[in-house]
Each structure stands twice: as structure tokens, then as C-alpha cells.
Amino acid sequence: MNQANPDGVACATEFKGHEIRVFSTWTQDARLYVDGVCRDRSIRRVSLRKTRILSTNLQIGADVHRVEVFAKALLSIRLQLRIDGRQVAGEVF
């Protein structure tokens, strides 16, 4: 679920016991956290088209999962969190 606040927008999910959170400010600073540790950061401008802005790998035992954050902006920033290509949190766009 996306949560808007004066400083930006955030979404979060739990995946196999791990907390995954993304936060993006209105000034284009975006960060991806896994269990409270920043795993990726971007300061590039979000476009009108859906663009992957952050990503990391999450290893759980022998399995490696791809965590990706997509963003789209017009009048506000919209975030989408995907794991292994499947949307798990954020907005549909």
C-alpha cells in the first residue's frame, strides 16, 4: 500500500519473514530497504512512463529473489514493488 505524506510516498510488504520498504521523496530521492538496511538508492528523475528505479537481490537460503521498484510520476509519484516479476505492493499502473 502506498502511503502519502508531506515528504514523499512509501510502500512496504513482508516477504518470507523479511520487511521490504521503499520510500521516495518529491525531490526524486528514492531508497529501497530490506530489514531496515538501505540496499539501493536513486536520485534520478521519475518519468511519465513506468520506469524501474531501484533493485536488489534477496537471498533466502539457497533461493535468490529479485526485488524491483517501479515508479511513475505526473502530478504525484506512484510506486510499485515487485518480487520475481510479481507485484506485491504499491499501485497498479
Q: Is residue 93 part of a domain?
A: no
pTM: 0.86
Q: What is the pLDDT along the chain (93 residues), one digit of tens a residue?
A: 555 455 789 999 999 999 999 999 866 789 999 999 999 999 877 777 888 999 999 999 999 999 999 998 877 788 999 999 999 999 988
Q: Is 15 exposed, middle or buried (0-12, 13-18, 19+ CB in 10 A)?
A: middle
Domain interval for residue 39: 3-88
Model pLDDT for residues 19-39, shown as the tens digit of each residue: 999 999 866 789 999 999 999
Looking at the structure of the chain, the number of domains it has is 1
CATH number at residue 80: 2.40.128
